[in-house]
Structure 1
Amino acid sequence: MKKMWKGLGAALCVALPFIAQAPADAATPAATGAADQTLVQRGAYLAQLGDCAACHTAPKGKPFAGGLPMNTPMGRIYVTNITPDARTGIGGYTEADFARALREGVAKDGHNLYPAMPYPSYAKVDDDDVKALYAFFMHGVAPVQQANRESDIKWPLNMRWPLMFWNMAFLEKGAYRDKPGKDVAWNRGAYLVQGLGHCGSCHTPRGVAFQESALDESGSAFLSGALLDGWFASNLTGEHNTGLGRWSDEDLRTFLKTGANRHASAFGAMTSVINNSTQAMSDQDVAAVSTYLKSLSPVGGTGAAAYTYDPQATKVSLDRPANDAGARVYTAYCMHCHGVDGHGFAPMLAPLAGNPNVLAKDASSLINVTLNGTGDLVIDGVPSPFPMPGFAAVLDDQQIANVLSFVRAGWNNGAPAVGAAEVAKLRQSTQAGR
């Protein structure tokens, strides 16, 4: 039974939405009448808030035409076409069809979408924003005739009918409603984080049926951090060590706009979120998101004492690197960017001392980024000058375990050591198909 749930969870995680079933000669419902350009522009902004391009635009591909390959334990899948092409996209969708797919996970022809499409979050999107999104996808996106490729997921995990029961159990219908006693900024931030931003899709732990353990701040697990696709999505609550407890409002706003601040830098999937979504947010919306996140009570974490910086023991190790295998690797490959003091050169080069990702109990993100590096942060069209390189071809599993154990113990970080077996497992899963 445990294996069955694990397999079902993987399948739910990887399949993608909006496989259009319209016939070739289907008229585009939204094509009648002139488009309201103000509404289209607003929809374009909302699509950025929802980070739609990250999944539905392949590298060097046409916008929203799909085709992005994704490797999963169950087989390879390909992201779907959500342009207004009537044959291969969503051009046959009426606004009601679009709203139902977006908020309820049911396609035009009635088949259920897998919740890799974050419709449990999009259920909170209000009618006005759905209308604007529909206007954008029908009138602001060029139609592209590009057929969707079938996934390699085999029967019975590719069956969709069980999702009706999944939705009955876990989908909470109804747009977000302002919470009484909270100001405008807090409610706007809550609406964005819980809805279009779908932050919980990555940052909230999942249950045995792959459902998010909580959909808002009323649940204790909400945004407390979660393992997903080889990365550990950070704790976004007020937890002091592994969350946002030591981040000021300005720190958080800077991170959302640039992907880096004095505490940490974005990597993994968060790089795409910064590049395609949060940097485009208005200052007012960034402030609202920060207001909401900074209000969340601290949960999760490791239970360790509040972090305080102490360089002395680490300095001694680095003075005599021959006595510590991890220190030897750090001196050779890491110190020129991250410094003897562990402060790096923030925000250009990430600090390691007190970095929430370093302090996290789960070291998956550290292992993954050390093996594979990370993509460029591209802010206002300018790539970051010092992206993290990958060391999979340079360092073996034991060397990576040694250096990460050194970093997690250094500068009073006090995080658990990393084992070579952990590195080997992630190397195998992340290098497959490369």
Structure 2
Amino acid sequence: MFKTLAAWLAVSIPMICHAAGSDDPQSALIARGQYLARVGDCIACHSAPSGKSFAGGLPMATPLGTVYSTNITPDPSTGIGKWSRQDFERALREGVSKDGHNLYPAMPYPSYAKIQSKDVDALYAYFMAGVAPVKQANRPSDIPFPLNARWPLKVWNLFFLQNDSYQIKDSKSVEWNRGAYLVQGLGHCGACHTPRGVGFQEKALDENGDSYLTGAAEDNWFASNITGSHWDGLADWSEADIVSFLKNGANHHASAFGAMTEVINNSTQGLTDRDAADIAIYLKSLGSSSANAVSKDASADTIASLNKPAANSGAMIYRTFCMHCHGVDGKGDAPLLAPLAGNPNLMSSDPVSLINVTLNGTPNLVIDGVPAAYPMPKFGTVLDDRQIAEVLTFMRAGWGNDGTRVDEAQVAKTRKATAVVR
């Protein structure tokens, strides 16, 4: 009984309160909601580049066309200023707006359905009283008629929405339950890291599904496998490694890039130490625990080929453009320069992230207001499709990595999709 109560309290009450010492309960509630909004990374989707916070307008690609995020500031005419607490919860947990129209599941309400009532209270308080109102009309989607009809979403919800808040698992620890709640709910990690089915639904919403968090392609990136999978997952990451990645965007295994950069910048670096640790406990409980050890013999072979690169065009390109940052041994200089040897991103089944980051570089990680010193530059204007395919193939097979070759056609497809002109 005590264990269940402790777990419930841990899940329901975030481990932060900027106004913990305040005599004003409403101020404390708003502060708690602000933290939860950061955990949920609400600002990333509901703010357009160079736009005002939470005013919407961010384009998001879907299989049917582009949708644009909505204004969730408390402006009464264009935002949610006239929404009741019930309206807010219905949109958050059921994907239904105040006027009754269904939201596209680009809004991760299947994950937010797990949010518990006390946290909905805090989020509502924050968005109504802690966010500045912005008068900015919502932009309609670019989905063509008749595909833009909303009524099929009601059917979609019948099949794919599990509208139940997170349920404590008595067999698990308080820490595991808190981590599971954050990952499955507000953190909505599965929205990116879980593959989707024919109905664009996440194939699993928690650890009971074999495909949960096993990685998925989305918008010309591949969200990594973050289970304990050997090679392409977190098998050889410790809990401390996961915490370091969440808080700093880097550890001695990998560095964040692409879409994950925004998640680190806007969300996970602001996690409390306890919440970050609980997330790590939960993620380490998923899947295999076998370590991904880099073969010393294979690493030696790779170093030898770099010393005599004439026989391997990928090695030659690596030596010319990559080696000064990532090293002859592929170890880089973590956390400043990403390691390649043993990096699970190098061994992903889908190389689209590697192709994209090589073509386009990556935004700066900004930790505690300080930009990363050495962001990945873009090489799309310097290297052609064949060269990028060859150097990535070399890296995916080098230093004991076990990634498959990259095809020139894959690079050409990503170049076109991301509009990189050489």
TM-score, scaled relative to structure 1: 0.88
- What is the aligned counterpart of 2:170 among 151, 155, 180? 180
- 1:108-127 equivalence runs, <5 A: 108-127=98-117
Q: 1:433 to 1:42 in 2, by over 3 A?
A: farther
- Using the TM superposition, give the Cα deviation of residue 307 of structure 1 relative to its aligned residue in structure 2, in angstroms: 4.6
Residue number among 269, 272, 295 corresponding to 1:308 in the alignment: 295
User: 1:13: which partner in 2?
Assistant: none
- Write the distance in 1 (CA, Å) between the matches of 2:117 and 2:61: 35
The secondary structure found in structure 2 opposite 1:117 is coil
Residue among 82, 87, 94 paired with 2:72: 82
Q: Which residue of 2 is the match for residue 426 of structure 1? A: 414
Are the aligned partners of 2:380 and 2:421 in contact in 1 as well (CA < 8 Å)? Answer: no
Residue 414 in 1 paired to residue 402 in 2? Answer: yes
Name the SS for the 1:135 alignment partner. Answer: helix
Do 1:240 and 1:307's aligned partners in 2 also have CA atoms closer than 8 Å? no
Q: Equivalent of 1:140, from 117, 123, 130?
A: 130
| 1:192 has 2:179 as partner | no
- Which deviates further from its counterpart, 179-188 or 423-432? 423-432
Which residue of structure 2 lines up, in the alignment, with residue 382 of structure 1? 370
Residue identity (%): 63
Cα offsets for 1:379-402 (capped at 9, x unmatched): 000000100011111100000001
Aligned residue in 2 for 1:46? 36
Q: Does 1:152 align with 2:142?
A: yes
Q: 1:372 aligns with which of 339, 360, 376?
A: 360
Q: 1:70 to 1:417 in 2, by over 3 A?
A: same
* Match 2:86 to one of 85, 93, 96: 96
Does structure 1 conserve the Cα–Cα contact (< 8 Å) formed by 2:30 and 2:130? yes
CA gap of 1:164–1:433, structure 2 versus 1, over 3 A, is farther
Partner of 1:208: 198
Tell which deviates more after alignment, 100-109 or 51-60.
51-60
What's the secondary structure of 1:311's corresponding residue?
helix
Cα shift at 1:58: 1.9
1:29-81 superposed Cα distances (whole Å, 9 cap, x missing partner): xxxxx981110000000000000000111222211011234466755443221
Aligned twin of 1:274: 264
For the Cα contact (< 8 Å) 1:241–1:307, is it kept in 2?
no
Greater mean alpha carbon deviation, residues 397-406 or residues 153-162: 153-162
Number of residue equivalences: 398
CA distance in 2 between partners of 1:103 and 1:73 (Å):
23
Sort the Cα spacing of 1:164 and 1:74 in 2 relative to 1 into closer, same or farther, 3 A: closer
Contact 2:360 2:420 in 1 (8 A): no
- The secondary structure found in structure 1 opposite 2:128 is helix
Cα 1:169–1:70, aligned 2, differ >3 Å: closer, same or farther? closer
Query: Aligned AA for 1:371?
Result: L
Q: Helix, strand or coil: the match of 2:310?
A: helix
Q: Report the counterpart of residue 401 of structure 1 in structure 2.
A: 389
User: Residue 344 of structure 1: which of 332, 348, 356 is its match?
Assistant: 332
One-letter amino acid of the counterpart of residue 106, structure 2: A
Aligned amino acid, residue 121 of structure 2: K
Distance of 1:89 and 1:432 partners within structure 2: 35
> What secondary structure is seen at the aligned counterpart in 2 of 1:172?
coil
Distance 1:251 1:324, change over 3 A: same
CA contact 1:236–1:244 (8 Å) conserved in 2: yes
Q: 2:13 aligns to what?
A: none
- Aligned with 1:335 (options 315, 320, 323): 323
SS of the residue corresponding to residue 222 of structure 2 reads strand
Asked whether the 8 Å contact 2:231–2:402 carries over to 1, the reply is no
Alignment-derived partner of residue 15 in structure 1? none
Q: Separation in 2 of the partners of 1:49 and 1:121?
A: 13
Equivalence for 1:105:
95
Amino acid at match of 2:251: N
Partners of 1:81 and 1:146 within 8 A in 2: yes
User: Quick check: 2:236–2:292 contact (8 Å CA) kept in 1?
Assistant: no
Give 4+ residue runs of structure 1 displaced > 4 Å after superposition: 70-76, 304-307
Distance 2:261 2:58 in 1: 17
Instruction: Give SS of 2:180's match.
Output: helix
Is 1:167 matched up with 2:157?
yes
2:56 counterpart residue number: 66
